[in-house]
Amino acid sequence: MPFYIRTGKALPKRSTEVTIQFKRVPHQLYKPSETTGLVPNRLTIRIQPDEGMSLKFAAKVPGAARNFCDVDMNFSYTSAFGIESPDAYERLIADCMTGDSTLFIRRDEVETSWRIIDSITNVWKNMPASTVYPYRAGTWGPPEADELIERDGRQWDNP
């Protein structure tokens, strides 16, 4: 199962989320011409800043005609409970003040993380400069990021 990670600085929006795109079913109930333009079903888990999740899927419009459209089932903590979730750092500071180390990592985890990052940066040092793809601030990244996943018939779901 392929997975893609996109990260960057100065993107149009601050967003941390995980999107799972489901495969199309092998046997369609309807003719392909009747379902053109529909995107594959997607489950998106929004981590921050708007914590929640959404499920996008195709649905048949009620009635005799075979009309389909993409629909979105959306859950947001803010709208469901009427309060803003604390910022991640607010939560960590509060936990630190009360002595709750549940969300903090241990020393051996930090050391292992740095070993992994060091191995990545060492490989980067030996890579040619042509493997870095610059992009303008305020965009979702270089065209190469789009081309990467389009080869597999996918596209980014920009928030």
Question: Does residue 158 register a pLDDT over 80?
Answer: no
> Residue 24, Cβ neighbours under 10 Å: how many?
13
Per the rule left: phi > 0, alpha: psi between -120 and 50, beta: everything else, 102 is alpha
CB within 8 Å of 61: residues ≥ 6 apart: 67, 68, 69
Per the rule left: phi > 0, alpha: psi between -120 and 50, beta: everything else, 98 is alpha
Give the pLDDT band of residue 69 (cuts 50, 70, 90).
confident
The amino acid occupying position 1 is M
- CA 114 to CA 116: how far, in whole Å? 5
Task: Supply the pLDDT for residue 37.
Answer: 67
Q: Read off the pTM.
A: 0.68
Task: Supply the pLDDT for residue 17.
Answer: 87
Q: What is the pLDDT of residues 4-61, one digit of tens each?
A: 888 888 889 888 888 888 877 666 666 666 666 677 888 999 888 888 999 988 887 8
Tokens coding 13 = 């929006």
Task: Supply the pLDDT for residue 35.
Answer: 66
Tokens coding 94 = 């509060």
Residue 66, SS3 per DSSP: coil
